[in-house]
Structure formats: structure tokens, C-alpha cells
Amino acid sequence: MIAAVLAGFILAPVFAFSKKILVEKTAKLFALLPLILFVYFVSFSGQVASGEVVDFTYSWVPSLGIDLNFRIDGLSTLFLLLITGVGTLVFFYTSNYLKGHEKLSRFYAYLSLFMASMIGLVLSDNVFLLFIFWELTSISSFFLIGFNNTQEGSRKSAITALAITGFGGLFLLSFAIFSGGLTGTSRISEMAEMTEVFSSGTSSVLLLIFLLVAAFTKSAQFPFHFWLPGAMKAPTPVSTYLHSATMVKAGVFLLLRFSPHFSLNEWWSPVLILFGAITMVYAAIHTLFRTDMKGVLAYSTISALGILVFLIGLGNSYALSAALVFIVVHALYKAALFLVTGIVDHKTGTRDLTVLSGLRSFMWPVAIAGFVSAASSAGIPLFIGFIGKDLIYEGTLHSAMIWTTVVAVLTNFLLGYAGFAVGIKPFTGPKPEKSIAKPSAVLWFPPVLLAAGSLVFGLFPGLLEGIIIPAYEVTGGQDFHPLKIWHGFNLVLLLSGCTILLAILLYRFWKLNPEKETFISRFDPIAPKTILLKASLLFEKMAAFWTRTAQNGHLRNYVLIIIVALITALIYHLIGSPLTYLDQLIWTPLEWGEVVVVSIMFVAIIFTVFSKSRLAAVAGLGVVGYAMCFIFVFFSAPDLAMTQFTIDTLTVILFVLVLYRLPPYLKLTNNRLRIRDGVVSLAFGALITLLALEVMNESPARLISEFYAESSYLKAKGKNVVNVILVDFRGIDTLIEITVLSIAAIGVFGLLKLRLKKSEK
């Protein structure tokens, strides 16, 4: 299993650094990678269909109890087959679509990296592993969306997509950390047994927010949807793979994977239904005003993702089965329509629906794929889209909320129109004036195969049940309803017929023109994209303000901020821990020698602080250091006293030599700043003193000290524990410290000996 997960990562650099001529000749063979993986994952379908779950565990971070946990169950199998199946066709299609492109090898590397990331994501049974692959999908999609990096639009779209999905990734990380801490495990399957953690209390609300933000950003739910239309700047294979079958469904996968965990949470269904409904209707309406084929497909994709979130929120048996079937339905017809769009653009040089017509004469296989996919998107009988649409209506009718059925009908007939506009409009009507070259079979075969899938599964829906039923059971569904072409004359059939009729009428009478797209652009100032971009500008201003105030290049400011932060943390600690230990301290009587030394130290400190001479201040610091030497002697630490004496002597000499050549003493701060610094220094010193007293009052952990005491003589043949630690146990560290000090001393010596000419000063 680990080889299957890592195969894409291993081959990505191989693709990237292959020679251009080699890649062009062997590009079709690159499709063997997803094809082999597809066959490998199909081999588990028998076990999965029988209700079996296959786990693979590899050691990762044993000290934290985190392993590489991979799990093949019904839900992961469904997505694995989509990822590798559609991936095979996309790899094959790309070999001709980008033929001759100078960066073809790099494109395959990015595609391979993305596929591997998605495979790892859907297989992960460890929440931290899930997060890692989640972020890898964002990074690899950034490279794919910005593939045409010479175009400003592509660069902006890639950055926007990365910013939105990366923002959601932070929430997923928060979810991973928080859920792992509350449940005591990082295994997703084990968390499912602790539904009380996810269903009640303030913590469950936070977990829900973290998960939903992550899912909504990745699956382009309102108001985070705007990155997906911009991502259409990417080449068509990217749009096909990322935005119809894989990446954008990662958020849907996340919701399905954790639906059993949140099944008892009172906010789970209402929030998903609300955001799903808004997204599906909002995006479906937008398809009416778009004239670019990719633009229509982008908004219809957002609407379809809204439907999936909406169905997961409804949560009844029909809705869950509808969601799983619609994942397949959408992948088949939307991937086919994207590939059809790519062929049209590749051969005509335009995707403008207002000028395209009559292409069926030049590319009839492509036209057939477009017609079939459009029919499936509209839910016409005998296509799998018809069964998916019927299940959607069953789910809404069993929800006891009439408005859900209304928005479902509204969305479905608008999506039907969008399918007709992209799959039928370019191929009907008068022929274009100039002849158009016929596409290669390498281009038209993938969309035809996908369209055939829509027809085959529509005629024989039982073929899907072996995959859908296990996935349905994983999501917590019960009493699965068999997939059938005919359910008799009922309300669902009536709604389905009305949907098809409305889609046909809308396609017949709604005329596309640029003025309509201009009209919808008038609402851009209040669009979520504009609002969120303005919010991002506010963040930039805050960052600029923080940089000017806190990160302005002055070392004294950095030190001040660090010390103030430490003071705040220590005060917070002391508030929660009263200073009761002060009464328990044993105060030994002071001796005259200690009083004299501390008095000298105090006077030296006062002298240093208020001195107006650098040399006098250095001398004062030297006195403080020598006083510390006496304190070490008083407390029976002569070795430390000698070390302190040596260091202080050398430090004073170095300071004197360096400061002697500096300009005369300058007063660079005013009284207000000096008072501030004095207060901060006194507060910090007082808190450190209290902290030291608290440490002295605590029972020390003696494991380390006992180890050194027992091992110093036996292993290092030394009786002085401190010396043995420095010379033997930390010998390399001490050597490096000596080296650093030596280099610094040589540098200081070189500066002292430097004699510059006046022209060089």
C-alpha cells in the first residue's frame, strides 16, 4: 500500500527532469501510472463489497503514538476509483492536448504529485496524515493552476486558490490537534466511537467550525466559492481533474468521512443544509450569465458541490445515497464536458458560446460525448443523471421541508440548462465559415468513454451498487434503497419531468449575449470575492503596521518586546499560582561578608546605570561580575568563581578595547524611554527572582542529575561532574562554543588592527 501511495511522489521528479523529446514520445505511456493504480485498487473491491475493511499501518512517530494509518473501505474505494480512473483519461488526453509544449514534463510531474496527494488523502485514517495530504493537494493544485505562469491571470488565480484553501488548511490542522487531544487518539476510525466528543459541549461547536471551514474552502462553498472560477485559467486537463472529479470533492469527502462523528450534533444538519442551499442556487443562477464554456462549467461545478453538501446535511437514507450516486454522476458528465470544452478550444481557438455553432460536422465523436453528457446533467431517462436526480428529490421529500424540494428543482433545471449550453450549443446550428481540423482520437476517446459510462450506468444501475452500498454504510446510512431506472408514476417522476421540461425551455428561449454578463458584473462590489479581498487588504495594513512598530530593525525594540511578553506570561502564571511557597522558605542568616559583597554589587549597578561614560560603565559591570565571583566562593563553587573571573576579565578588556575607539558618549534616548526601560527591567528582575524561588520550592526531578553523578567517574573517569559534562558528555557542543568564541575574538582583533585610509572611511 505504501508503494501505491508514494508512486506518484516518486515518479513526479522523474517526469520533471525527463528530456523534452523523450517525454513527447512516451507521454501516452505515462497514463500507465494511474491505470496500474486503478487496477490495484479495483482488486480490493471484492473485499470492500463484502463489508470488509482493509487497514495498513506503518510506524511514523512512535514517541507521539502517530503512525501512517491507511484504510480502504467503501468511501475511500469510491474516491480512489474516481481519482485513478479519471486520472488515467486525463493523463492520456494531455499527451495530445499539450503536445509540443516546452513544459510538458513539468506538467506531468505536477499532475502526478496531485494524484498521489489525493490518493493519500482519501486513504488516510490518521487525522494528522489527512492534514498533510490535504495541504499537498493545495500546493500541487497551486502549481497546476499557475502552470501558464507567464500570464498574470494564471498567477493571480493560483495565489487566490492557494490562499483560500491554505486558510482552510489551518482550520483542519486546528481540528486535528483539538480532536486528537479530546479523544486521545489520532485514528479517524477510533474517533467515530466517541460521538459524545463531537456532539455536545463548547468543544463540539469548535470542532464543527474547524471542520466546516476546511471543507467549505476546499469545496468552494459560499462565500469561499470565488477561487474556483478563477482557477479555470489552468489548462483544460487541470480543470477536468481538479475541478470535476477530485480536488473540489476533497471537502465533500471530508464531510462524508466525519458525518458519523457529527451525526448527533444539533448544528451539523442545519448549517450544511443552509450553506449547501445558498451555494447551489447562487452558482446555478450565475450559469445563466456566462458566455465562456469554462465559466459555465465552473459555476455549475460550484452548484453541484453545493448540492452534495446540501444532501449530506439532509442526512436521510435517500439523501446520503443520492450524494454518493451524484458524486459519480457529476464526475462522469462534468469531466466529459470539460474535455469537450478543451477540444473545442484547442481546434477553434475560442470558448465563446455566442459565436460557436455547427461543430458536429467536424468532430462528431466529440458532439456525441457532449450530447450524452448534457443529457445526463439534465437527468434525462436512461442516463445515470436521471437516477441521481430522482434520489435527490426523494431525499428532499423525506426531509419534511418543502422548500428543500423547491430549491432542488430550481437548481437542477438550471444545471440542465448549463449542460445543454456547453454540450449541445457548440455543435448545433449553422456551420462555421472556415473548415476546422478534426481532433485526434487521443483527444475524443476520453470524453466518449466517460459519456459511455453515463449511459451504461444509467441502463444498468446495479453495476454501481457494489461501490455505492459499502460507501453508504461507512457514512452511517441504513436501509439502502436499490438503484432502479423505474420507480413508477409518483411525485418524484413528476418533479423530474418538470425539471427536464424547464431546462429545455430555458435553453430554447434564453439567449446568451455579452450584455448579460456585463449586467451581472455590476454586482461585483458586493460579491464575496470583493469583500474578502478588501478584508485581505486590511490584514496587509495590519501586517505593515506591525512591521513598522515591532520589526523595524532596532535590536532594542526586539529585546523589549521579548521581555514584555515574558513578563506577561510570568504574571499570568503567578496569578494562577499564589505565592504561598514564600512562607515555606527557610531563610538563613546573612554573614557580614555576604552583606558587603551584595552592597558593592548594588552600588556598582547604580553607578553603571547612571554613568555618562562608557568606560566607567564597563568598569562598573566588571565590579558586578567580580562580586558574583565572591558569591560563588561563599557557596562552595570555586570552579564557577574562576570561570566567572576569567570571563569577566576578558569581557572587560574586550569592551574597553572596542569602546575606546567609538565616538564620545551620546544621549540617544529621552527620560521617558529610560524610565520605561527601567520599569520593565525591574519588573522582569523581580519576576525572575520569584520564579527562581518557586523553582527552589519544587521537588526536583533527579533522574538526570543522578545519571551524571553515577556515570561521571565510571564512564568518563572524572570526579568533577560539571567538568565531565562540559568536556565529555557535551564535548562536541563545548568545542563548537570555543570555536565560535575564537572566531569572534579573531574578528574583534582584526577590527582593532584595521587602519583605513581617509578615502575609505
| 647 lies in some domain | no
Q: Which residue has the cell 473491491?
A: 45
- Quick check: 581 pLDDT over 70? no
Inter-residue contact 133 to 98 (CB < 8 Å): no
Burial class (CB in 10 A: 0-12, 13-18, 19+), 695: exposed
Peptide bond before 223: cis, by omega within 30 degrees of 0? yes
- Quick check: 448 pLDDT over 90? yes
User: How many domains does the chain divide into?
Assistant: 4
Stated pTM of the model: 0.80
CA dist 11 to 25, 136, 295, Å?
17, 16, 33
Same domain as 259, residue 210: yes
Same domain as 255, residue 271: no
Give the model's confidence band at 233: pLDDT under 50 very low, under 70 low, under 90 confident, else very high.
confident
Q: What's the mean pLDDT in 220-241?
A: 88
Give the model's confidence band at 435: pLDDT under 50 very low, under 70 low, under 90 confident, else very high.
confident
- Quick check: 749 pLDDT over 90? no
Q: What's the mean pLDDT in 185-192?
A: 90
| 588 lies in some domain | no
Confidence (pLDDT) at 585: 63
Q: For residue range 29-73, what is the model confidence (pLDDT) as tens digits?
A: 889 999 999 999 999 988 988 888 898 888 887 776 678 889 999
Mean pLDDT is highest, among 279-288, 638-647, 695-704, for: 279-288
Report DSSP state, residue 217.
Answer: H
Confidence (pLDDT) at 579: 63
> How confident is the prediction for the chain on average, in pLDDT?
87
Confidence (pLDDT) at 1: 80
Confidence (pLDDT) at 669: 72
Q: For residue range 454-503, what is the model confidence (pLDDT) as tens digits?
A: 999 999 998 998 899 999 998 888 888 888 888 778 899 999 999 999 99
Instruction: Tell me the β-bridge partners of 295.
Output: none
Give the model's confidence band at 757: pLDDT under 50 very low, under 70 low, under 90 confident, else very high.
low
Domain boundary among 246, 265, 284: 265
Same domain as 274, residue 192: no
Same domain as 488, residue 412: yes
Same domain as 204, residue 189: yes
Q: List the one residue out of 289, 423, 405, 416 whose CA is nearest residue 369.
A: 423
Give the model's confidence band at 666: pLDDT under 50 very low, under 70 low, under 90 confident, else very high.
low
Q: What are phi and psi of 187, to 5 degrees?
A: -80, 125
| 612 lies in some domain | no
Same domain as 164, residue 48: yes
Same domain as 237, residue 272: no
Same domain as 271, residue 244: no
Confidence (pLDDT) at 511: 86
Inter-residue contact 43 to 79 (CB < 8 Å): no
| 376 lies in some domain | yes
- Quick check: 282 pLDDT over 90? yes
Domain boundary among 265, 285, 306: 265
Inter-residue contact 301 to 253 (CB < 8 Å): no
Domain boundary among 457, 485, 510: 510
Same domain as 423, residue 291: yes
Give the model's confidence band at 721: pLDDT under 50 very low, under 70 low, under 90 confident, else very high.
confident
Same domain as 214, residue 172: yes
Q: Quote the longest CA-to-CA distance of the chain.
A: 111
| 218 lies in some domain | yes
Q: What's the mean pLDDT in 405-433?
A: 92
Confidence (pLDDT) at 456: 94
Q: For residue range 368-391, what is the model confidence (pLDDT) as tens digits?
A: 999 999 999 999 999 999 999 999
Residue 458 in 3-state DSSP?
helix
Residue 5 in 3-state DSSP?
helix
**What whole-number percentage of the chain has pLDDT above 90?**
42
| 181 lies in some domain | yes
Same domain as 115, residue 257: yes
Same domain as 271, residue 260: no
The range of the structural domain enclosing residue 531 comes to 522-552
Kindly report the three-state secondary structure assignment for every residue of 105-159. HHHHHHHHHHHHHHHHHHHECEHHHHHHHHHHHHHHHHHHHCCCCCCHHHHHHHH
Q: Which residue has the higher pLDDT, 590 or 227?
A: 227
- Quick check: 761 pLDDT over 60? no
Q: What's the mean pLDDT in 738-752?
A: 82
| 669 lies in some domain | no
| 142 lies in some domain | yes
Mean pLDDT is highest, among 66-75, 528-537, 717-726, for: 66-75
